[in-house]
Structure formats: structure tokens, C-alpha cells
Amino acid sequence: MRINPVLQKDLKTKLRGWRAPVLISCYIVLLAIVLILYFAGSDMLSFYNVSGFNPRLAVNAYNILTVFQFALLFIAVPAITATSISGERERQTLDLMLVTKTPPRKIIIGKIVISIAHTMLLLISSMPVLGVVFFFGGIGVADIAKLLLFYIFTAFFVASSGVFFSTLFRRNITAIITTYLFLGFITFGPFILFLIHMYIKETTTAIAYSLSYAEILGILFPSPVFGFTSFYFSAASDYYGYGYDLWGSVAMYIDGYIAQETGILRLLKPWIANGLFSIIASILLILLSAAILNPIKRKR
């Protein structure tokens, strides 16, 4: 099987050195320290606190680690991908890549894969740390597998966005800023639109307005935060199955409307809806990036 030449070159130059193993080791140690400090601060490591053991604290620690990793996707991946093409252009090596037999589409895909390889390697290597909660219960292998799949969808979308703006703009700084602005709009824009929608409905409807899950899904599905709530609030819980914090309130709010659905929307969880959006949007961004990068079409 022939490997993407761009991917093969970058894998040899970026992942075979000593920096990658050291970075992975430091990241895992950092997560372990955060986990130990949380347990120590909650007296879960004390031998004299057996009677007051609360498995929910372990699940909350799991939530903290997943939020940290989710934020890592939006901080690290755009900074790497937004310079993938514009950086080649500034180093005056892009034309050398374009004159080869490698089509622009493979160049784009190779840049996307190598850009998210480091981040996904960190996320996958940290799965044993997340597995610590198995000793306390509340999280299963299926939950972590679904979380990892959602991370892959999100990283693919974030990387595709970064490469698209890196192809569109010539300067690195412009591509980076535009990528962060675009991702911020996709992440928080639907929530602002949802609040506006709710305000208009409540002020223009004479009778009591009844919201449906279809409306929530139809507005919030592009936001990765909306999809991520499937994994956060499903873990932390009080007596009724929800947390006392903001995410717990969001969980109770969304789950209540999902329970009212009787059709196929009942199966369309937030992470599945957002994952489908990420896949479709990533494919469109890759096609647009390849069209912009194609030197033959640009001359026409």
C-alpha cells in the first residue's frame, strides 16, 4: 500500500526524534499529577475516610481530565494546522510540492493527518490515566471508546479548518487568527443564536411556549461543546443522576427533551449529531482547500 508522500515525510522528520516520547511522557505525568492532587484534595487517598467514600468524586476527576483534553484540541491543533500550507509558502517550498505528482487533495490530507497526529497520540496515550476511574465505577470502556471517537471527529474538523485558512491566506499570523475566530464562532455562535431564538419565541408567543429537542438540535448541532456535553454530564451525578454545576443543569435540560422524543431523534444524541456535522464539514473544507491550492485551476 502506498503511503501519502507528504504524510510519510512529516512522520519521518517529526515523530522519530526524542521530542515526541518526552512530550508524551510529560503529558501523562501532568495528567497523573492533576488526578492525584484532586483525589488528595478530596481526601480520597486517606485510609481514614473509607466511610465517607463517594465514587462521584472519581467521576468528577474524569470530567476534569476530559475537559482539559477537549480544550487541548482547540488550543494546540489550530496553531499547528493554520501554518501547514502558509508556512510552506513563506519558506518558498510550496511550489516544489505542487510540481510533484502528488495531487493537491493528498497534500491537504497529509497535512491534516500529520497535524493531528501529535495531539491524537497524546489523547490515546492518556487513556490509561482516564481508566483509573474503573476502580471506582461510573465509567465504562464503551464511554471512553465513544469519547475517543468524538475526539477524532472534533480533531479532524479543527485540523481541516486550520488547513483551509492556511491555504486561503498567505501569512501565518492571519491564518492562525482567522482559524481561532472561525472555531470560536462555530463553538459559541449556536448558543448565542439559541438564546436569541428563545427570546423571540417567548416574547412573540401568546401562550406558553413549548420547546422541543428538534429545535435544540437544529440550532446547537454545529457546536463541539454541545456534542461534548454528552460525555461530561452523563458521568457527574447527584441523587437524581445530574451534577450540581452548570454542566449538570445543561444535562438535565437536554436529557429531559430527549426523553420526550418518540422518533429517530431520540437516538440522535448531541455527540452523534455534532460528529456527523464535523465529518461533512471536514470533507467540504478539504475539497475547498484542494481547489484553492490547485495551481492549474488558479491560473484559469
Which one has a higher pLDDT value, 275 or 45? 275
pLDDT grade for 300, boundaries at 50, 70 and 90: very low
pTM: 0.82
Q: What is the pLDDT of residues 212-245, one digit of tens each?
A: 888 888 899 999 999 988 886 444 444 444 445 6
Work out the mean pLDDT of the chain and round it to a whole number.
78
pLDDT for res 8:
67
For the stretch 76-106, pLDDT in tens is: 888 888 888 887 777 777 766 777 777 778 8
What burial class does residue 275 get, using C-beta atoms within 10 Å of its C-beta: 0-12 exposed, 13-18 middle, 19+ buried? Answer: buried
Q: Is residue 209 predicted with pLDDT exceeding 80?
A: no
* Between residues 44 and 270, the one the model is more confident about: 270
- Confidence class of residue 55 from pLDDT cuts 50, 70 and 90? low
Distance in Å from the first CA to the final CA of the chain: 34
**Orientation angle between helical segments 213-220 and 246-260, nearest 10 degrees:** 120
Residue ranges per structural domain of the chain: 24-299
Contact 115, 162 (CB under 8 A): yes
The predicted structure's pLDDT at residue 122: 81
15 compared with 223, residue with greater pLDDT: 223
